[in-house]
Structure 1
Amino acid sequence: MIVNRTTFNKGIIVPSLLFIIGVCLLSVFFPTLTVTLLDHVKNFIFVNLNWVYVWGVTIFVLFLIYLMFSKFGNIRLGSNDSKPEYSFFSWISMLFAAGMGIGLMYFSVAEPMQHYSSEVFSANHYINRAKNAQLYTFFHWGIHAWAIYGVVGLALSYFAYRYRLPLSLRSCFYPLLKNKINGKWGNAIDVFALCSTFFGITTTLGFGVVQVNAGLQTLGIVPESSFTYQIIIVGLLTLLSIISATSGVEKGVKLLSGINIITVIVLLLFVLFLGPTVYLIGSFTEGIGNYVNNFFSLTFDTHVYDEATLPWFYNWTILYWAWWISWSPYVGLFIAKISKGRTIREFVAAVLIIPTLFNFIWMSVFGNSAIWFDVNIAKGALSALADNPDALMFRFLDYMPLSDLVSYLVILIIVIFFVTSADSGIFVMNSIATKNAAKSPKWQMVFWGALLAILALMLLNTGGLQALQTMTLITALPFSVIMLLFCVSLVKALIIDRRYYDRDFSVTTVPWSGEFWKDRLKQIVSFKTKESVESFIKGTVRQAFDELCREFKDNGIEAKVKLLEDPAIIEIEISHGVVNNFIYGVRNQVKVVSDFVISEENLPDIEDKKTFFPKSYFGDAREGYDVQYFTKNELISDVLKHYERFLEIISEEKNEMFVSSNANENLR
């Protein structure tokens, strides 16, 4: 009975589960063979097609920067009058926790130390090695990584909230595929996104469990790092993730993300002020300058002239680009879920700059502290552990005051980071599998959490986790091409969107005649009460709309007039089966009069700082204006000129994509 109550879409869930379970079983029963075969494919891609990643990521960065500074930046992700659903702090906390999460804890010490200890840089002086370690860490965790997430998140947000399409990757192809996104092509895109998300979260779960186990062993809480303890850790983490996911974004994910960002800042400040503070501030400052100066050379560098560095390039930069791209369906979907109401400029600026800046501070504080300790105190002990990132963070903390207490805090942060990644991942996977169903039974969330835990444990036990990670990296190549098509699709839609709202009235329309100029002068210099404006709306405006409505019906057009008493609002609506029906309305609007006008002797007296006026509004959320000086006939004329504009727009073939909602309704 419970199974029948499901919102899963068979065209998505069945092929996805077959592929996910099939790949995982191959990795479990034939781990060596699977890893060998997948490694061959991955190496071929990295060696021969690495330029696809380099150019793709470069285009994503330049594309988002262009949108941020272009005329499209003011377009809102939703209707023109929509407002953000979450506060700025909650929004940033959630996208940050979902976007980087546990990786910051796993690589904050390990990556700078590995670059510092790498044979590629070993011939350089200590200073150059330390600078390069920071520079490449910034490069891999900076604007380029967030541009990948930003492209997917922006495309999803725009088409979901502006075009009113489902929050699904298939929707991003609407300008290119039109109604075909309802069929097999759309299902194939969603299947790809679901599998990619599942593989990414499963591998993250595996690595996170290993690091937590290593931390507990370091603290003496568990005697060893074994599969038995990993089962317990996976069970607890998955349970917490399911509880958080079933409580919804507004409760579980938002609450944990807020707690985590505060805890992370506390840990950051602890290391900053009790570590080599002056060295850290100086190295961060110099690191930012080094990053800015080398930004374009790093972006386009393919290491083709220095063959000795090519293996490092494949195993670091290209691997990172592939990893971020493979994660982008999941992170992009979650970012889109929480970004309704933001403008494109606000979205891009926040997604590119704020998390990047925090990552730079975080990596500088932990990575440079580890290098400083390694040179001045540990005498190479930390760099000797560069190949053991599971334990490196905790060994680094041994050189800090209150190391045991701080290690507990690190484990807590890792746990919360994992839970925030997993619960948002569970939420996203269920959203993809149900084609963004409004409400799903909670057992579906439990199903995804249990499947994650079971397959992650099977892979951990048999050593098949590496095969799954490699498979995830391979899927990044086709998805990078898909993301480039997202950019094309988004540009096409934005051009039509901008043209729609910039369309002016017909040149034949004339706002006023001079026939009633004396009455208008009296109106201009007088201040209206709420009652007088209501009288105007219920009298002049109502008469105009009723007369116009009768004339529309005489011409075979079905129009209706709606009147609300409190507050006084009246509108005339004509249904056309498009994104925005034609609506022309008038509402009673209040504004505060300045003290200067109140005290101005050359104007009539006004006792109250508030004055009222009738303001027009429209079905497509364009900005209205004051209509208090219009006569009945002029109001009729004003409605007709807007209706003329509306008909011109919907009749043009190039605007069909934006205004047609027949397909949209089928997708809701």
Structure 2
Amino acid sequence: MTTQQDHTTQPPHPRSGDDVPTSSAETDLHPALDVPVDEAGHTRAGLDKIVFGVSAAIAVAFLVWGFVSTDSLAKVSGDSLTWTMANTGWLFVLTSSSFVVFVIWLALSRFGNITLGRDDEEPEFNTVSWVAMMFSAGMGIGLMFYGVSEPITHFATPPPGTGAAGNPEATQNAMATTLFHWTLHPWAIYAVVGLAIAYGVYRKGRLQLISSAFEPLLGKRANGAAGKVIDMLAIFATLFGSAASLGLGALQIRSGLHIVSGWSATGNGILIGIIAILTVAFVLSAVSGVAKGIQWLSNINMVLAIALALFVFVVGPTVFILNLVPTSLGSYIQNLAMMSARTGAEGGKTNEWLQSWTVFYWAWWLSWTPFVGMFIARISRGRTIRQFVSGVLLVPSLVSMVWFAIFGGAAIKLQQTGTDIAGAGGVETQLFTTLEAYPLATVASIVVMVLVAIFFVSGADAASIVMGTLSERGTIEPSKPTVIFWGVATGAVAAVMLLVGGSDALTGLQTITIVAALPFVVVMIGLAVALVKDLRSDPLMVRQQYAAEAVEAAVVAGVTEHGDDFVLAVERHPAAD
């Protein structure tokens, strides 16, 4: 272009049917503008009597039923599980895999550039701190309980369709199945809730509630009866999911006491006693308000967990563990599609296996989404959606892979060399049996019990705060009575779930978790739809649409009127005068 002439163009108005609104209902300003939200104006203190009252009443009724008539509750829960697996097992499998695809699509799409905050906002935490906190979220009772038991169980009794016990590929299939349950799928589920909450709170100034994320779909009804039902379902999911974790902790502590002290007492009475003692410890910590103390204990727990893993790595089969990491990763990637598509249609044996493993895990992860989702949302302000998804999917997945390679690898090697880890009592004893093969077994076993106990107390604390937040209209600091109530309820529900399982207490945990998580699957699907609807009308997306249409129209007009000799300028639309 040898010369330039001004050519004024106006950005075209959105076409009829576009998602771009003409005005913002929240700010009354143009939707293309990134306007700071008044977060102080979007907080409402006080107990929501309907959400708390109904949820508490149902929880208490469940507890009374469980303690008064355990057999009838066991029968009803068993029948419910049979119906759930027969009719909706496919739903757990399909939705969980769909969430993996969904969050990866969000990260790679144009939505990936949207900031969870203002456009120019920097991340609240630096990357190292953010990763460290993500690591702490990835640790818990579950990794302690299943670190040895899942790989060794899949090795000794391979999943249906993967060959007979002792086949040459048993090790890599066992590790691939374990990674399938603990890496991308659970963290993709958490990412959906975390994104929805973080976007709504930091970008829209909404309440920190699951129901608030449904405003794009429900409008004002998200703050009405429909929203209250959603928050109650989130409370129930958190209650039963957390109780399942606490039940696993009680099982493992009981086994540790038997091994370390030689105490031979068994039965569910011991489990209930352990839960009662740890629940009292939680209540005392909540009443004293030692939030820093819990944080201090959690940091100690993370150090102890790392130290325990390093100990097993050094004194265990170090080279075998190192070889197992790339083998496990490659086998996981190779078999991911097959494992993701496995359903009860493959036969009764597969359906039974899914009920004990995959579907239980998906239900467990779904029930933990309110807690973990809120946690990762709180620490991710200022991150883009692409950064958020990358960190949430990859960091905990890598931690889990290393953890299972160390503990699972050590157990598998012992099994191969003649030590029967798979047959060492219940699954809760297999970690202690593995540690007995190495020096300082008693000390290591005590460390395990300390880790599980602190995870129990801090886990009950965190889950109770989330349920308190949902009960008190999204407040970040719910009142102590509400937090204590939900903490005690979580411990009591864990006791009931163990009682329902009878001699096989783990079965009770799995059964009730799957049944209780079913309604929340529907909530999660709606959450994903609402999030996409929100993102499509985000200011950044509106600006991109305006820019693309305006520039295209200007170039066409400029070339038509002036050939190559034109420039673009921005002026007020004549119709606006």
TM-score, reference length from structure 2: 0.80
Structure 1 residue 80: Cα displacement: 2.2
Cα deviation digits, residues 16-40 of structure 1 (max 9, x gap): 0111111222222222221222222
Aligned letter for 2:104?
A: I
Matched, 1:77 2:116: yes
Matched, 1:28 2:67: yes
Aligned residue for 2:489? 451
Matched, 1:8 2:13: no
Aligned residue for 1:633? none
Matched, 1:363 2:404: yes
Structure 1 residue 302: Cα displacement: 2.7
Structure 1 residue 304: Cα displacement: 3.3
Structure 1 residue 226: Cα displacement: 5.9
Distance 1:240 1:74, change over 3 A: farther
Aligned residue for 1:388? 426
Distance 1:330 1:439, change over 3 A: closer
Aligned residue for 2:464? 426
Aligned length: 508
Cα deviation digits, residues 151-180 of structure 1 (max 9, x gap): 111111111211111111101111000111
Matched, 1:55 2:94: yes
Aligned letter for 2:423?
A: A
Aligned residue for 1:499? 541
Aligned letter for 1:82?
A: E
CA contact (8 A) 1:35 1:470 kept: no
Aligned letter for 1:44?
A: W
Distance 1:438 1:413, change over 3 A: closer
Distance 1:56 1:441, change over 3 A: closer
CA contact (8 A) 1:106 1:390 kept: yes
For residues 333 and 390 of structure 2, the distance between their equivalents in structure 1, rounded to whole angstroms, comes to: 17
For residues 55 and 231 of structure 2, the distance between their equivalents in structure 1, rounded to whole angstroms, comes to: 9
Match of 1:261 among 278, 285, 302: 302
For residues 254 and 93 of structure 1, the distance between their equivalents in structure 2, rounded to whole angstroms, comes to: 14
For residues 384 and 289 of structure 1, the distance between their equivalents in structure 2, rounded to whole angstroms, comes to: 28
Distance 1:500 1:292, change over 3 A: same
Match of 1:384, SS?
A: coil
Aligned letter for 1:139?
A: F
Distance 1:185 1:157, change over 3 A: same
Aligned letter for 2:52?
A: I
Deviates more, 1:147-156 or 1:451-460: 451-460
Aligned residue for 2:181? 140
For residues 143 and 248 of structure 1, the distance between their equivalents in structure 2, rounded to whole angstroms, comes to: 36
Structure 1 residue 277: Cα displacement: 1.0
For residues 314 and 440 of structure 1, the distance between their equivalents in structure 2, rounded to whole angstroms, comes to: 36
Cα deviation digits, residues 352-389 of structure 1 (max 9, x gap): 111111111111111121111022141xx21212x602
Match of 1:28, SS?
A: helix
Q: Percent identity?
A: 35
Aligned letter for 1:396?
A: T
Deviates more, 1:86-95 or 1:158-167: 86-95
Higher relative contact order, structure no. (Cα contacts within 8 Å, ≥ 6 residues apart) = 2
Cα deviation digits, residues 177-204 of structure 1 (max 9, x gap): 0111111000000111112211222232
For residues 222 and 19 of structure 1, the distance between their equivalents in structure 2, rounded to whole angstroms, comes to: 37
Match of 2:381, SS?
A: coil
Aligned residue for 2:444? 406
Match of 1:343 among 361, 384, 387: 384
Match of 1:79, SS?
A: coil
Aligned letter for 1:67?
A: L
CA contact (8 A) 2:190 2:369 kept: yes
Match of 1:382, SS?
A: coil
Aligned residue for 1:297? 338
CA contact (8 A) 1:78 1:161 kept: yes
Match of 2:261, SS?
A: coil
Matched, 1:68 2:110: no
Aligned letter for 1:286?
A: T
For residues 459 and 323 of structure 1, the distance between their equivalents in structure 2, rounded to whole angstroms, comes to: 14
Deviates more, 1:357-366 or 1:309-318: 309-318
For residues 388 and 483 of structure 2, the distance between their equivalents in structure 1, rounded to whole angstroms, comes to: 29
Structure 2 unaligned runs (5+)?
Answer: 1-44, 555-568
Distance 1:8 1:91, change over 3 A: farther
For residues 476 and 389 of structure 2, the distance between their equivalents in structure 1, rounded to whole angstroms, comes to: 27
Aligned letter for 1:297?
A: M
For residues 238 and 305 of structure 1, the distance between their equivalents in structure 2, rounded to whole angstroms, comes to: 42
Cα deviation digits, residues 555-600 of structure 1 (max 9, x gap): xxxxxxxxxxxxxxxxxxxxxxxxxxxxxxxxxxxxxxxxxxxxxx
Matched, 1:46 2:85: yes
For residues 500 and 150 of structure 2, the distance between their equivalents in structure 1, rounded to whole angstroms, comes to: 26
For residues 457 and 81 of structure 1, the distance between their equivalents in structure 2, rounded to whole angstroms, comes to: 49
Deviates more, 1:333-342 or 1:11-20: 333-342
Cα deviation digits, residues 363-421 of structure 1 (max 9, x gap): 1111121111022141xx21212x60222111110001211111122122212222332
Structure 1 residue 8: Cα displacement: 1.6
CA contact (8 A) 1:153 1:333 kept: yes
Aligned residue for 1:280? 321
For residues 90 and 444 of structure 1, the distance between their equivalents in structure 2, rounded to whole angstroms, comes to: 30
Structure 1 residue 477: Cα displacement: 2.5
Matched, 1:477 2:518: yes
Structure 1 residue 117: Cα displacement: 2.3
Structure 1 unaligned runs (5+)?
Answer: 1-5, 511-636, 649-668
Cα deviation digits, residues 252-281 of structure 1 (max 9, x gap): 564444333222221111111211111111
Cα deviation digits, residues 44-96 of structure 1 (max 9, x gap): 22233222122211210011111112221121212223344445455445444
Cα deviation digits, residues 281-310 of structure 1 (max 9, x gap): 112211111111122222223363465433
Cα deviation digits, residues 106-133 of structure 1 (max 9, x gap): 0111111221222746724443222221
Aligned letter for 2:110?
A: K
Distance 1:262 1:480, change over 3 A: same
CA contact (8 A) 2:422 2:430 kept: no
Distance 1:311 1:219, change over 3 A: same
Structure 1 residue 136: Cα displacement: 0.7
Match of 2:213 among 172, 188, 203: 172
Matched, 1:198 2:198: no
Structure 1 residue 15: Cα displacement: 0.6
Match of 1:108, SS?
A: helix
Matched, 1:211 2:249: no
Structure 1 residue 459: Cα displacement: 5.6
Match of 2:475 among 418, 425, 437: 437
TM-score, reference length from structure 1: 0.70
Matched, 1:332 2:373: yes
For residues 441 and 92 of structure 2, the distance between their equivalents in structure 1, rounded to whole angstroms, comes to: 40
Instruction: List aligned pairs for 1:298-317, cutoff 5 A.
Output: 298-302=339-343, 304-305=345-346, 308-317=349-358
Aligned letter for 1:51?
A: W
Match of 2:168 among 127, 137, 145: 127
Match of 1:167, SS?
A: coil
For residues 425 and 356 of structure 1, the distance between their equivalents in structure 2, rounded to whole angstroms, comes to: 22
Q: State the superposition RMSD in angstroms.
A: 3.1
CA contact (8 A) 1:322 1:476 kept: yes
Aligned residue for 1:620? none
